[in-house]
Structure 1
Amino acid sequence: MLWSPYLKGFKSYLQLERSLSGNSVEAYLGDIDKLQQYYLSINRAPGITEINTSDLKTFISWLNDLGMQASTQARVISGLKAFFGYLMIEDVIQNNPSALIEAPKLSRKLPDTLNIYEINGLIEAIDASKPEGMRNKAIIEVLYGCGLRVTELTELKISNLYPQIEFIKVLGKGNKERLVPIGGVALKFIDLYLKEVRVHMNIKKGNEDFIFLNRFGAKLSRISIFNLIKSLAIATGLKKTISPHTLRHSFATHLIEGGADLRAVQEMLGHSSITTTEIYTHIDRDYLREVITQFHPRS
């Protein structure tokens, strides 16, 4: 199978034209690698232009027989569609064999959310007398107050703070920048951390602009944020399974329940599709009925 030139071109397309992160690019290439593994398993080596829809359907059945979960199958199908879409753009193929391939139906499992008392409990469990205490309080306030992804938090920079107008500039997925409002409480804890703790640290070269640093003066890792949330959950006796993303989900849920516009929440979360935002916001039927009653002229 002489696919190497096409895979190399596909990788460049994902990096340059779609501005995807390194992890996302590798995930897409991994999806195509699974298709190659399938062909090897049946002793076939088709050229890229010889692949048809029937082949892909049989491939998906093969994945299912291997015990692959529906969510992972959907991920692979998404990668296939991106790859063959690229080949169409480049005029390598005339017909897209993945066009009629449908992803398996996925159940929408909503993660746990925290109420405001549980969030306050996490913050109160932090020992502010320790050097990292003020930093950790600021981290929880920013995750919940701004709805950031964990990577967006670790990449947050001092130069992207605009306290005068209460906004921060966030670098999201696909290197897309967005402005997110930040409340006074989160700003207060960031300011205390910067002026009372961080200013006394020996900061490693290249890390001067990152807000949140570890005890060695380097940018915090993703895993350290996960460990922080886990330790706080244990300290407060919280029975829910939570992660940094739980605070992001709680941010969106509380805004919607408070009457915020879904489009505004979509913008703050950095979602390209409103459908994604709907997954993060479980609005009950009573609230929807209330919205219709209050705002629709025929109600």
Structure 2
Amino acid sequence: MNWISCIKSYQSYLKIERGLSKNTIDNYSFDIERLCLFLTKNGIVVSPIKIGEETIQQFIYSVAKEVNPRSQARIISGLKSFFSYMVFEDYRADNPLELIETPKTGRKLPDTLSVEEIDSLIFAIDLSANEGERNRAMLETLYGCGLRVSELVSLKISDLFFEEGFVKITGKGNKQRFVPISDLTQKYIQIYRNSIRTSITIQKGFEDTLFLNRRGKQLTRAMIFTIIKNLAVKIDLNKTISPHTFRHSFATHLLENGADLRSIQLMLGHESITTTEIYVHLDRTFLTQVLNSFHPRK
């Protein structure tokens, strides 16, 4: 069995059995393709069934010269998953990455925005342009519901349950959850829908997509990044931000105002509470406030 057929089989497994998104599958595949490129460059002819730990270790050493420890850890994790699949399907008897150590990376805490900075970004949107109302509605939804950028661009009109005060979100692995949506966010979405979206010529297949580009199609993730980056430049924000920064700020602000981690976990759609703890960095000042407010020996 060669590398190409193994990768295709693995991709089918990730899509059908695990229900992963195309973006996630592409990321997993990239790690394997990088290994294949290393083998080709070094004239190493070996199949995915026969490749051993020593060759994998050589690849890891070469990668270590080019990327940081966090990226190394991601590549090792991706390859370990691939070879675990090979073992599961009885193509191999062992996983060649079983004894390869992952570099220690520590916890990288994402940047966060203050409420004032988020307000400044949204206020900087030019509402005189047609896309202005759309952009305001998108950023309010991104921050107000704590969505991933992929969840935002794929949001459907049929996912809006405004009377009940919720939106239905399809997250990683096609897992669905209901997230509360505030009256303010609902208002901006309705303004966009009633005053802007109705004048767009919608392309076939995108009739139910909420946020559309000028051509009547779904927005790309890259476009959301560009919109946010341009707004940050406009207000001279001295931070490197992305759509994910709004999601992290959503969680952080909820925590700072007294929300419990379990509730935040459900709204973010995290399977593990540990993931939520990484997103929501707890500073010492806040921990002291929690202790003084809730401990019986305060």
The separation in 1 between residues aligned to 2:246 and 2:83, in whole angstroms, is 37
The separation in 2 between residues aligned to 1:25 and 1:155, in whole angstroms, is 17
Q: How does 1:91-240 map to 2 (within 5 A)?
A: 91-240=90-239
TM-score by length of 2: 0.90
Q: How much does 1:295 deviate?
A: 4.2
| Residue aligning to 1:9 | 9
Residues 92-121 of structure 1, C-alpha deviations (whole Å, 9 max, x = no match): 222222222222111433333211112112
The separation in 2 between residues aligned to 1:99 and 1:194, in whole angstroms, is 52
Cα gap change, 1:58/1:216 in structure 2, threshold over 3 Å: closer, same or farther?
closer
The separation in 1 between residues aligned to 2:242 and 2:7, in whole angstroms, is 35
The separation in 2 between residues aligned to 1:43 and 1:200, in whole angstroms, is 58
Cα gap change, 1:19/1:196 in structure 2, threshold over 3 Å: closer, same or farther?
same
Task: Report if the CA contact (8 A) 2:201-2:215 is conserved.
Answer: yes
Aligned sequence identity (%): 51
The separation in 2 between residues aligned to 1:225 and 1:41, in whole angstroms, is 37
Secondary structure (helix, strand or coil) at the match of 1:156 reads coil
Q: CA RMSD in A?
A: 2.2
Q: How does 1:29-40 map to 2 (within 5 A)?
A: 29-40=29-40
TM-score by length of 1: 0.90
- 2:248 corresponds to 1:249: yes
The separation in 2 between residues aligned to 1:129 and 1:33, in whole angstroms, is 46
The separation in 2 between residues aligned to 1:34 and 1:130, in whole angstroms, is 43
Q: Which amino acid aligns with 1:150?
A: V
Q: Which amino acid aligns with 1:79?
A: G
| Residue aligning to 1:51 | 51
The separation in 2 between residues aligned to 1:189 and 1:246, in whole angstroms, is 21
Residues 21-66 of structure 1, C-alpha deviations (whole Å, 9 max, x = no match): 22322322222223333334444333444333343333312322x3
Gaps of 5+ in 1: none
Task: Report if the CA contact (8 A) 2:149-2:221 is conserved.
Answer: yes
The separation in 2 between residues aligned to 1:185 and 1:28, in whole angstroms, is 38
The separation in 2 between residues aligned to 1:184 and 1:29, in whole angstroms, is 41
Task: Report if the CA contact (8 A) 2:3-2:36 is conserved.
Answer: no
Gaps of 5+ in 2: none
Task: Report if the CA contact (8 A) 2:149-2:224 is conserved.
Answer: yes
Q: Which amino acid aligns with 1:111?
A: P
Q: How much does 1:298 deviate?
A: 7.0
Cα gap change, 1:129/1:147 in structure 2, threshold over 3 Å: closer, same or farther?
same
Question: Which stretch of the first structure deviates more once superposed, 80-89 or 221-230?
Answer: 221-230
The separation in 1 between residues aligned to 2:175 and 2:115, in whole angstroms, is 30
Q: How much does 1:182 deviate?
A: 0.8
Q: Which amino acid aligns with 1:198?
A: R
Q: How much does 1:130 deviate?
A: 3.0
Q: Which amino acid aligns with 1:104?
A: P
Secondary structure (helix, strand or coil) at the match of 1:241 reads coil
The separation in 2 between residues aligned to 1:34 and 1:189, in whole angstroms, is 44
Q: How much does 1:293 deviate?
A: 4.8
Residues 62-106 of structure 1, C-alpha deviations (whole Å, 9 max, x = no match): 322x32222221121111111111112112222222222222111
Cα gap change, 1:124/1:6 in structure 2, threshold over 3 Å: closer, same or farther?
closer
Cα gap change, 1:218/1:77 in structure 2, threshold over 3 Å: closer, same or farther?
same
Question: Which stretch of the first structure deviates more once superposed, 181-190 or 275-284?
Answer: 275-284
Cα gap change, 1:232/1:38 in structure 2, threshold over 3 Å: closer, same or farther?
closer
